[in-house]
Amino acid sequence: MSNQNQNNPLHGITLEMIIKELQSSLGWEKLALKLNVNCFQKDPSVNSCLKFFRKTPWARAKLEKIYLDFKSKS
């Protein structure tokens, strides 16, 4: 195992886990305010978010930052 994974705070956390945890804690409306993307605003679902964030690296990076900020406040 490389040292890079040990220093990665997202190591072992899937995109689906991030979306589900943020959605259950914040809800779709607050997520849409934090990150203005259609998958949070129009008929939101975990599956639509997974499709979008897997294809859109800039949005995934922002979502991961929101998640890390959320976890640091918890």
CA distance 67 to 6: 18
Global pTM? 0.88
Would you state the pLDDT for residue 13? 95
Q: Tell me how far the alpha carbon of residue 45 is from its chain's centroid.
A: 13
* Residue 59 and residue 19 in contact, taking contact as beta carbons nearer than 8 Å: no
| C-alpha radius of gyration, the chain, whole number | 13
Question: Which domains can be identified in the chain, with CATH numbers?
Answer: 3-73 (1.10.720.30)
Residue 2 confidence (pLDDT): 53
29-70: pLDDT as tens digits: 999 999 999 999 999 999 999 999 999 999 999 999 999 999
Nearest to 14 by CA among 74, 73, 69, 67: 67
List the one residue out of 56, 16, 14 whose CA is nearest residue 35.
56
